[in-house]
């Protein structure tokens, strides 16, 4: 499947509404009907954030993952235990 998501160390799955991006050994982006779970797997790195942002843009979201002071955040809110959940907007 051709996407705008980087290929190095990356696998992309799209299985009937369940879309996932794995970067090395971590599923960094997991989209279901409920929303999107971002998971850094403990890797607060620019490349992990980039893969998440590439997946967000590919799926119609705005990129918003950043690293500030060594901590990962989405739209200014810190990840908790390496994860952040974005609920699917109502009516989508």
Rounded to two decimals, the pTM is 0.92
Tens of pLDDT, residues 12-26: 999 988 999 999 999
Query: What's the pLDDT score for residue 2?
Result: 73
CA distance 22 to 13: 9
Tens of pLDDT, residues 19-72: 999 999 999 999 999 999 999 999 999 999 999 999 999 999 988 999 999 999
Which contacts (CB < 8 Å, 24+ apart) does range 47-52 have?
Answer: 47/23, 48/23, 48/72, 50/6, 51/5, 51/6, 51/10, 51/21, 51/23, 52/21, 52/28
Q: How confident is the model at residue 91 (pLDDT cuts 50, 70, 90)?
A: low
């Amino acid at each position: 499947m051709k996407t705008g998501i980087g290929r190095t160390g990356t696998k992309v799955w799209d299985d009937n509404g369940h879309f996932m991006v794995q970067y090395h050994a971590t599923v960094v982006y997991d989209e279901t009907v409920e929303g999107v779970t971002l998971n850094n797997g403990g890797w607060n790195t620019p490349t992990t954030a980039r893969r998440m942002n590439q997946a967000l843009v590919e799926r119609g979201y705005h990129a918003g993952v950043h690293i500030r002071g060594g901590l990962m955040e989405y739209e200014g809110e810190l990840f908790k235990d390496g994860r952040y959940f974005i609920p699917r907007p109502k009516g989508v």
